[in-house]
Amino acid sequence: MSDSALTTASPAIDPTFENVWDELVWRGLVHVSTDQEALRALLAGDPITYYCGFDPTAPSLHLGNLVQLLTLRRIQLAGHKPLGLVGGSTGLIGDPRPTAERTLNTRETVEEWVGRLRSQVERYLSFEGENAARMVNNLDWTAPMSAIDFLREIGKHYRVGTMLKKDAVAARLNSDAGISYTEFSYQILQGMDFLELYRQYDCVLQTGGSDQWGNLTSGTDLIHRVEGTSVHAIGTPLITNSDGTKFGKSEGNAIWLDAEMCSPYRMYQFWLSTADADVVDRLKVFTFLTRAEIEEYAALVEAEPFRRAAQKRLALEVVTTVHGSAAAAAVIAASEALFGQGDLTALDAGTLRSALEELPNTTVARGYPVIDALVDTGLVASLSEARRAIAQGGVSIDGIRVEDDTATIQGALPGGASVLRRGKKTLAGVFVS
């Protein structure tokens, strides 16, 4: 396997599995579910309609949502019909958090975010063929309903005692913050979504994160009460790192799918830093590599962990899936060039800037002294240390060794940037204003 290969896996189910259910289980995507044997038979039979919902509580989806998006796609590749739901109504309420009440966003903000999330979800589904995907918005059936109709037709089927037992609700009831009726009612709204989709599209399966299990079963229970029919739910595991830390967080910031909120370069570096103990599981969940391919990478992790072959393939696959092959090629070129394996001047200006923004960096005027930039970026602690590093031949700017301490920053790279290096691996970015 070539570490630098730019060939990615085409989205497909693995033909070595008898049933897409078996593949989901092997990939570790089934943490909790309704009747497993019934689900296995359902997914092996004629095409069914299934859905997953995404609430516009932010202007972008993140890596946690990517688990659901790829799960939707896997099931569609097996011949089933997906519904991608963006919650124009539930987004106005917000799923109860375990700790505190959400701040309600304006209707205008939620409407804007619905559009942004819809376009993101659409990237992962196929809208062609006999099992073409369909996008839906729960505001379409919620907005016309009066409060009286909601209480009579939906609310009467819910028992408060059962609702109080839901994990998020119970956590909030035991906290100082308590819970408002607004957020308490969220599970009823999500249950109503499943009922509506069952009635309109014969939708019989909902997927979501295992932390949403109470909301998922709200729908299965409601359909059973109202329609006398059994439908299904699959809860995927919450992804955590082997050391117990929360997955998808980098210095407190989520890894967003929107390139404006998280650059492809930053996303690529995030995946490159995956621990050996986690990388095989990540390949299973976040790529379409086959079982055989993943087993090869698992062997490489054991035999040659220093090559980071699995991490490089993981980063390539996910960035290609989220941002496209051109973006993946650009960030790989930037990563290699920054560490002396490529031409810095040939890089795309936007990719170079996003890469340098992940390093210590500063903005200066053209002609700014290199010795001052070394101090400003933290590569050295003082001007005297800067002069000493230059005298020892340990400083370069844009790949060219700095010969004396009168050198200046010119921003000679695309976009008016420069790469300042001390030693072999200590880098900083300088932007010329």
The pLDDT tens digits of the residues spanning 44-62 come to 999 999 999 999 999 999 9
Does residue 163 register a pLDDT over 80?
yes
Closest CA to 51 of 92, 80, 25, 88: 80
Q: 12: how many CB neighbours lie within 10 A of its CB?
A: 12
This prediction has a pTM of: 0.91
Segment of 5-19, 95-109, 253-267 carrying the highest mean pLDDT: 253-267
3-state secondary structure of 203: strand
Q: What is the mean pLDDT of residues 283-294?
A: 98
74-113: per-residue pLDDT in tens?
A: 999 999 999 999 999 999 988 887 778 888 899 999 999 9
Q: Could you read off the pLDDT of 339-373 as tens digits, one per residue?
A: 878 899 999 999 999 999 999 999 999 999 999 99
pLDDT-derived band of residue 404, with 50, 70 and 90 as boundaries? very high
Mean pLDDT over residues 423-433, rounded? Answer: 93
- DSSP letter string over 28-52? T--SEES-HHHHHHHHHSS--EEEE
Q: Whose CA is closest to 56, among 21, 15, 23, 89?
A: 89
Average pLDDT along the chain: 93
232 CB-side CA count, 13 A: 19
Give pLDDT, residue 171.
Answer: 84
The b-or-e profile of 348-384 (16+ CB within 10 A means b, else e) is bebbbbbbbebbebbebeeebbbbebbbbbebbeeee
Question: What percent of the chain stands above pLDDT 90?
Answer: 82
SS3 state of residue 179: coil
Q: Which domains does the chain have, with CATH numbers?
A: 29-236 (3.40.50.620), 239-356 (1.10.240.10), 359-433 (3.10.290.10)
